[in-house]
Amino acid sequence: MTRIIADISMSLDGYVTGPDPGPNNGLGTGGDALHTWAFSDDPDDLRVLREGTARSGAVVLGRRLFDVVDGPGGWDDTVGYGAGEVGAPPFVVVTGSPPTTVRLTALDWTFVSTGLADAVAAARGRAEAASRERGEDLDVVLMGGGATIGSALAARLVEVLSLHLAPVILGAGTPLFTDGAPRALVQRSVTATTTATHLVYDVG
């Protein structure tokens, strides 16, 4: 069964970027520390990364994150979705204004301008089609940014929340959780490594 999984790295004080993020500074000042685990040699970090990437049937991201990954300093043949595994799944971008050009033309991009719910629905369709083709369950992964995942949580579009808690305090940046209704989560797993604590919750 295809699940909708929000998957993101976060600081101990709740930020998914450092201060002053932008197209040329995607993770903000000090934000690179959030993703140290994704480039780690720790066996548990590698397992978390590979298992998450392997189950990705489609990936949803917001326009600001797209501008970062598709920008001149963004993804390339060595850095992309899943760190060393550049984007095998299709990518669905929620945006009010699709770009006129795309740098990463080898990747499968779909731009949805009718809202986040429609973007998630489009991604679910792609993931379910891939599941049938491969004969295994594949998921939709919301990779960010923080505002996109926050909006998806608020709209109750997310079924599983996968957090990679980095041992860093950023002090400012893009918060994952802002004002919203209280939510009860069911903890499913905790994996502690030298670079992160990987937490998985079912979202009620």
Q: What local confidence, expressed as pLDDT, does residue 82 receive?
A: 63
Intra-chain end-to-end CA distance of the chain, in Å: 17
Quickly state the pLDDT bin for 185 (edges 50, 70, 90).
very high
pLDDT for residue 85: 56
Q: Is the pLDDT of residue 142 over 60?
A: yes
User: Which residues 6+ apart lie within 8 Å of 25 measured at CB?
Assistant: none
Indicate the pairing of strand 4-10 with strand 160-165. parallel
Q: What is the pTM of this model?
A: 0.92
Q: How does the average pLDDT of the chain come out, rounded? A: 92
The string of pLDDT tens digits covering residues 156-176 is 999 999 999 999 999 999 999
Helix (H, G, I), strand (E, B) or coil at 181: coil
Question: If we measure between CA atoms, which residue out of 5, 2, 36, 70 comes closest to residue 195?
Answer: 36
Mean pLDDT (whole number) for 43-67 = 94
pLDDT of 15? 96
Distance of CA 63 to the CA centre of its chain: 13
Residue 22 half-sphere exposure, CB side, CA atoms within 13 Å? Answer: 3
- Which CB contacts under 8 angstroms, 24+ apart, belong to 31-34? 31/170, 31/173, 33/166, 33/168, 33/170, 34/9, 34/10, 34/164, 34/166, 34/168
pLDDT for 163 equals 97
Q: What are the structural domains, with CATH classification, of the chain?
A: 4-203 (3.40.430.10)
Amino acid occupying residue 198: H
Confidence of residue 26 (pLDDT cuts 50, 70, 90): confident
For 80-120, write each residue's pLDDT tens digit: 776 455 557 999 999 999 999 999 998 999 999 999 999 99
